[in-house]
Structure 1
Amino acid sequence: MTNHPPIAGVRLLDPLPSGEPLVTVPALQADRPVRAVLVTAALDPVQERRVRKESANLEALLARVDPDAVLQVLDHGLDTQGRRFLIVDMPGSEAAAPLSPDDVAAAARAMATGLDALAAHGFVGSPPGLCTTPSGAFVLMAPLPPVLDELVAATGPGTGHEPPEVLCGSDWTRASQVYTCASMLWTLLTGRSPHADHGTEDRQRLARLNGSEPVAPGDAPDLLIDVLRTALLKDPAERPAEPAALAAALEAAWSPRSRPTMPPRPSPPGTAGAFRREYELLRKLGSGGTAHVWAARRRSDGMDVAVKLLDQNHSRDPEVVERFTREYTLLMEVRHPHLIRVHQLVLDPEETGLVMDLLGDNLHTVASRGRPATTDAAGWLAQVAAALAALHQAGIMHRDVKPHNVLIGERDGRSVAVLADFGAARRTEGATDTRLIGTVAYLAPELAAGRTPTTAVDVYGLGVIAYELFAGRPPYRKEDTTAMMLAHMNGGAPRPDGISDDAWAVISACMTKDREARPTAAEAALRWEALAGRPVLDGVDVPRPPGGGRSSAQALAPEDPGWVPAVLGKDDEPGSGTIISARPVPARPKESAPPRARRKMTLAAVSIVALGVIGGVGAAMLTADSDHPSQKSAAAKPSTPPPQLTVQPVPASIATTGPGSIQIGWTADRASLPGLSGYAVWDVTANRPISATLPAASSSFRISGLPAGERACFLVVAYVTAAPQGPLAQSTCVTPTN
């Protein structure tokens, strides 16, 4: 426990719990029952400004809302320890389970009334809880400023009631509010969350993402459970349109006069505890960084299948499990002869897995036995390109096209290629996740340059595969990840001997640095089929992207700034393991979201950080204390470096200037930094940028507020117009003292 922080005019009734980024305790303000909401997490300058501004806006908005519909924010500011707080009205206690069916219907109506009042003033966000007044009535509690909702979600499991689309990064909508209201009402009715039977918070989150049907206790009233199940459907379009519609359905269901006809319940994709009863594991086929693939047999009919099982460590990682679930969801949406067919998602308490068709070896293994015949190679490439075209037409990017993810099997006596492994796939429209994902040896230059991914990145990866198949070697042989990324950005792949003009024309077109000039996947499929000299796409419709546009038109929307990569795959060669950034790559200046939980990384990965932010880090930088007015000006108005710039880490040193304060200094030989236009500073330990683009004349940057005793590492990068030569500078570290 910690001492009560003094807030003027407020007496806290309970000690503050420790270890949470946001704490709430009952309090009295001039004998009026209230709740004090205190931000105990360290805020960066952008978050600090957002809390201040959004708290003031929320207080003003609620002053215009009927207090019988939504409780008020009474005050906000800083306590004597400099921490942000809000004082919110709380005339009773927070509604708690169990509630009677009549009370659940009344609670739903109170939620709808309050959320409708907020929506009328333009506020549509995470629904707050309910207060039960001394008279027994329900009233919606005051919502949190959006930045604090983000902080809670970024530093922990969230509320446990967020809908799947919000968990995947979409904005709140009225249908999203319906899901959260239904989840809270289910908990109030039954005394347990809708997916409590799945066990841990991470597995419950996975169940929400997957749309698993919630299981109610046997004594729960079916009439209300049916309504709530409908409101908890994964597809927002299948839920009641808004909270008022949910309230009306619950009231009608519990009324003896009428009972609404509800849509049928969806079938869950897998049943917990059923996997070992359904499948027999025969032999391990291979392993990656997060999963193992087994040959297995379905006991019911003897069908041979492949089963991809997450290892025990990664089965508890929400991000890995989310990617695993996304793979199943996307593959169930798009069926194609040259896309791996997935039969089932397994969600056992101790195992998470995908059941798929069992095929042969991957293309990497096949090619390692010897260069394939030209007709076979062209046929496989045509089939993979056709699969990509189907994905692109469905609005999906694969984002990790490489030989390890292409399986070679046999159908009707003919060799066929099938595209697999969709853990990195994303939708091309309506998505907000723009994190750098891919495999360095097959990474498109625009990704290394910090640009938003498009379907053109898949075509580039296909071009690299084609180069390897026809040349018998990769286009670039580099010793480390940094050099490999630079080669894709700046290098030119030499034309190997023995490749025909027609084949080289397709390969070089797919691998061109200008993504606008690459062919679409559909165009590549037809060109490779022509080179195969035989029909390899019999009965396969080769689609065009929506609207007939080129592949590069299918871009993702940008999210929030900054990224640090972590290796997720462990394939056979350097540069062949899939990487996924811990933070998205920005495309325009934007305030950052609250930082996620820290992820450990080796200092050897620091050089990857520098390259991954090319063309994007300038837009991502957050403000920090600076000694120079020019630096403060740059921090206030970040600018994105021109696309042709690259970055080069420069040597730096750290001097301690006071408790928790340091100054990073650097001296650079301008002759070794061609076209120098500025610098940027990265906090490697915290996985985020901490400066705006600094002027080229800068030589130092000061940082304050570092926690004592915690090691912190920083990297200084220079924006230049030529790729770095020789070894790259590493980060420099310090452990601040009191």
Structure 2
Amino acid sequence: MEAGEVVAGRYRVVSLVGRGAMGVVWLARDERLDRDVAIKELRPDDGTGEAAGDITQRAMREGRIAARLRHPNAIAVHDVVTHGGRPCLVMEYLRSESLAEVAATSGGLPPGEVAAIGAQVAAALAAAHDNGVVHRDVKPDNVLLTTDGTAKITDFGVSRAAGLATVTATGILAGTPAYLAPEVAGGAEADTRSDVFSLGATLYAAIEGDPPFGVEDNAIALLHKVARDPLVPPRKAGPLTDLLLWLLRRDPAERPTMRAAHEALTAAAEGQAAPVPPPHNPTLLLQAPPPRRVSRRGVVAGIGAAALVAGGVVLGLLLADEAPTDAAGATTTGTTTTTTTPPPDEDGCVAAYEVVDAWPGGYQVRVVVRNDGERTLTGWEVRWPLPDGEDIDELWAGRLVRDGGDVVVANEEWNVTVPAGGSTEFGFNGSGDDPQVPPVSCREP
């Protein structure tokens, strides 16, 4: 395709817009309706391993799927045509920059601005889910931003309607590894819940500068990390931290629906606190920030089989499901040990202390602060005695105070309130060769 060519008798090519993994995007003029359009030219020779006929068949089907959706925050698909033997998706043209470009230029966006972008994208994805469409490749490159603050999700060309058979049988997994949900990276089928995780990963990257599991040139190594490793805790998300971690919960059943995500993000964009339910199954593990590498003993229980990106490479990962509980009420799985405060007093504050990882000379702890009372907590403090030989090297999402031999962690300004039934969390890296699980207490100051 070249500038000046006419596609399907009506779309005159103007200029090249960009190149992606699945082909090339052109700006064109629809001479019949006198409007600009974008033409996404899918190229059979781009190394996907598929025959031209297969790609054409798939493009026609995916074009019909994408055309189901008409939403102000989704790029519309107008037509599906062929040109020079290649399938082309004719889409709405939007003068914009991608979220990836804007975030890279700014070094990360403020949480409030990201919440507003996320609310718009979630609205479009919720509408797609209502129509049986799973996007499967939500990422910053596929979120377009205009100068007036409008956000639109694009590239439903790699999505697939729920229940619709896959056209190709190559075992190729569509999606971008850094933004895949862990279950998809491990071989499960993408669904609406994995779109929620990918949206969370997209918003996380817009704030933090990198996706939740970091960056890796080797796609296979990155898929291993996504499928089995804990994510890096957000440091810049402020009041959006709890909501992001809700979207990014490892257990798909623990994530909100896209409709609930839209409502929560809308509230956050308006400066309101969105209630986040406590995890029923606390499987979301937080890892220390890079470059420090820690062992992940006890995280991975086995390896199975799954399809990998663009080459049919096979891997899979299984996580331990149940953990034994000792007589003292502590739960232990590999290096992971948890203890919970006694039943809450009248202010309803409960804390769960979990050793989620350990390595020679150090360990990592995650503490969930839950409000089991009937009124909103307007502040919280978690206290525990620091075992002999241990110390705290680094703390996130809380303020550290020492009181003799006790450690006290208090809320930050952005997580000061915890609604009834809601929760927040903090974490830290500790030093010591044999991490102990101390008794913890939680109170409202």
TM class, shorter-length: 0.5 to 0.7
Mapped pair 1:377 → 2:108: no
Match of 1:499 in 2: 237
In 1: Cα distance, 2:187 partner to 2:91 partner: 34
Q: 2:21 is matched with which residue: 267, 289, 295?
A: 289
Q: Which residue is equivalent to 2:175?
A: 438
CA separation of 1:610 and 1:300: change in aligned 2, threshold 3 A: closer
Name the residue aligned to 1:628: none
CA–CA distance in structure 2, aligned partners of residues 429 and 312 of structure 1: 25
Cα distance 1:385–1:427, how it changes in 2: closer, same or farther (>3 A)?
same
Alignment pair present for 1:428 and 2:166: no
Describe the superposition over 1:115-144 as per-residue Cα deviations: whole angstroms up to 9, x where unpaired: xxxxxxxxxxxxxxxxxxxxxxxxxxxxxx
Could you say which residue in structure 2 is the equivalent of 1:487?
225
Matched to 2:179, the amino acid is Y
Structure 1 residue 395 displacement after superposition: 1.5
| 2:111/2:240 contact within 8 Å kept | no
For residues 165-195 of structure 1, the C-alpha deviation after alignment (integer angstroms, 9 at most, x for no partner) is xxxxxxxxxxxxxxxxxxxxxxxxxxxxxxx
C-alpha displacement of 1:423: 2.9
Q: Is the 8 A contact 1:340 1:357 kept in 2?
A: yes
Partners of 2:164 and 2:15 in 1: CA distance: 40
Are 2:43 and 1:307 equivalent residues in the alignment? no
- Give the alignment's TM-score, normalised by structure 2: 0.56
User: Which of 282, 289, 298 in structure 1 is aligned with 2:30?
Assistant: 298
Q: In the alignment, which residue of structure 2 is the partner of 1:471?
A: 208
Could you tell me how far apart the structure 1 residues matched to 2:131 and 2:64 are? 13
Q: What residue is the counterpart of 1:362 in the other structure?
A: 98
Q: CA deviation at 1:534?
A: 7.8
* Contact 2:134/2:162, CA 8 A, preserved across alignment: yes
What secondary structure sits across from 1:319 in the alignment? helix
> Taking structure 1 as reference, are residues 517 and 437 closer, same or farther at Cα in structure 2, changes over 3 Å only?
same
| 1:333 to 1:351, Cα distance in 2 relative to 1, 3 A | same
Cα pair 1:399 1:424 within 8 Å, conserved: yes
Is 1:280 matched up with 2:12? yes
**2-structure distance, mates of 1:392, 1:283:** 33
Query: How has the CA–CA distance of structure 1 residues 580 and 312 changed in structure 2, closer, same or farther, with 3 Å as cutoff?
Result: closer
Q: Give 2:68's aligned residue.
A: 333
How many Å apart are 1:275 and its aligned residue? 1.9
| Root mean square deviation, CA, Å | 3.0
Output the CA distance in 2 between the equivalents of 1:348 and 1:427.
25
Cα deviation for residue 283 of structure 1 reads 1.4
Q: Deviations over 1:518-577 (max 9, x none)?
A: 011111111111111289xxxxxxxxxxxxxxxxxxxxxxxxx97654xxxxxxxxxxxx
Structure 1 residue 509, shift from structure 2 partner? 0.8
1:319–1:402 CA distance, 2 compared to 1 (3 A): farther
User: How do 1:102-501 residues align onto structure 2 when only pairs under 5 Å count?
Assistant: 275=7, 277-311=9-43, 313=45, 317-359=52-94, 360-370=96-106, 371-409=108-146, 414-429=148-163, 431=165, 436-477=173-214, 478-500=216-238
Q: Residue 284 of structure 2 corresponds to which residue in structure 1?
A: none
* Aligned equivalents of 1:322, 1:447: Cα separation in 2: 24
* Counterpart code for 1:420: T
| Equivalence map 1:7-26=2 (5 Å) | none
Partner secondary structure for residue 253 of structure 2: helix
- Say whether the 8 Å CA contact 2:114–2:207 is kept in structure 1: yes
Deviation of 1:480 (Å): 2.1
Amino acid at match of 1:300: R
What is the alpha-carbon distance in structure 1 between the residues aligned to residue 127 and residue 104 of structure 2? 28
Q: Deviations over 1:17-61 (max 9, x none)?
A: xxxxxxxxxxxxxxxxxxxxxxxxxxxxxxxxxxxxxxxxxxxxx
* Cα distance in 2, alignment partners of residues 488 and 349 from structure 1: 39
Q: What TM-score comes out, normalization by structure 1 length?
A: 0.35
Q: Which structure has more RCO (C-alpha within 8 Å, separation ≥ 6)? A: 2
The aligned residue for residue 264 of structure 2 is 527
Bigger fraction of residues in strand: 2
Distance 1:497 1:336 in 2: 33
Is contact 1:326–1:423 with CA below 8 Å preserved after alignment? no
Contact 1:279 1:298 (C-alpha < 8 Å) held by counterparts: yes
CA distance in 2, matches of 1:325, 1:482: 30
Which residue of 2 is the match for residue 511 of structure 1?
248
Using the TM superposition, give the Cα deviation of residue 580 of structure 1 relative to its aligned residue in structure 2, in angstroms.
4.6
The residue that corresponds to 1:596 in the other structure is none
| CA distance in structure 1 between the partners assigned to 2:103 and 2:110 by the alignment | 10
2:225 maps to a residue whose letter is A
Letter in 1 for 2:230: G
Q: Deviations over 1:182-238 (max 9, x none)?
A: xxxxxxxxxxxxxxxxxxxxxxxxxxxxxxxxxxxxxxxxxxxxxxxxxxxxxxxxx
Distance 1:482 1:460, change over 3 A: same
Q: Which moved more, 1:350-359 or 1:273-282?
A: 273-282
Tell me if the contact between 1:327 and 1:421 (Cα under 8 Å) persists in the aligned partners: no
Q: Aligned pair in 2 of structure 1 residues 282, 490: CA closer, same or farther (>3 Å)?
A: same
Alpha carbons 1:295, 1:307 under 8 Å: kept: yes
2-side partners of 1:404 and 1:454: how far apart? 20
Checking the alignment, whether the CA contact within 8 Å between 2:187 and 2:306 is kept in structure 1 is no
Query: How many residues of Structure 1 are paired with residues of Structure 2 in the alignment?
Result: 278
Instruction: Kindly provide the CA deviation profile for residues 269-316 of structure 1, in whole angstroms up to 9, marking residues without a partner as x.
Output: xxxx97264122121110123311111112234311111122363695
Distance 1:534 1:282, change over 3 A: farther
Q: Deviations over 1:435-455 (max 9, x none)?
A: 533211111111222233321
Change (3 A) 1:318 1:479: same
User: Partners in 1 of 2:21 and 2:224 — Cα distance?
Assistant: 25
Q: Which has the higher helix share?
A: 1
**TM superposition shift of 1:490:** 2.6
Do the aligned residues in 1 keep the contact of 2:188 with 2:306 (CA within 8 Å)?
no
Distance 1:424 1:310, change over 3 A: closer
Residue 431 of structure 1 deviates from its aligned partner by 4.0
Contact 1:274 1:348 in 2 (8 A): no
Q: Taking structure 1 as reference, are residues 503 and 580 closer, same or farther at Cα in structure 2, changes over 3 Å only?
A: same
Runs (5+) with no aligned partner, structure 2? 273-303, 323-445
What amino acid is aligned across from residue 369 of structure 1 in structure 2?
Answer: T
Structure 1 runs of 4+ aligned residues shifted over 6 Å read: 641-644
SS in 2 for 1:333: coil
Contact 1:386 1:522 (8 Å CA) reproduced: yes
Equivalent residue letter for 1:425: S
**Secondary structure of the corresponding residue to residue 37 of structure 2:** strand
In structure 2, how many angstroms separate the alpha carbons of the residues matched to 1:432 and 1:311? 19
Contact 1:464 1:474 in 2 (8 A): yes
User: How far apart are the structure 2 equivalents of 1:610 and 1:376?
Assistant: 39
What is the match of residue 292 of structure 2? none
SS state of the match for residue 67, structure 2? helix
Give the CA deviation at 1:515.
0.6
**Counterpart residue type for residue 27 of structure 2:** A
Q: Secondary structure at the match of 2:150?
A: strand
**Native 8 Å contact 2:204 2:212 kept in 1:** yes
Cα deviation code 1:599-635 (max 9, x no counterpart): xxxxxxxxxx342x445xxxxxxxxxxxxxxxxxxxx
Paired residues of 1:323 and 1:423 also in contact (CA < 8 A): no
Q: Please give the alpha-carbon distance, in whole angstroms, between the structure 2 residues aligned to 1:320 and 1:312.
A: 7
Change (3 A) 1:326 1:406: farther
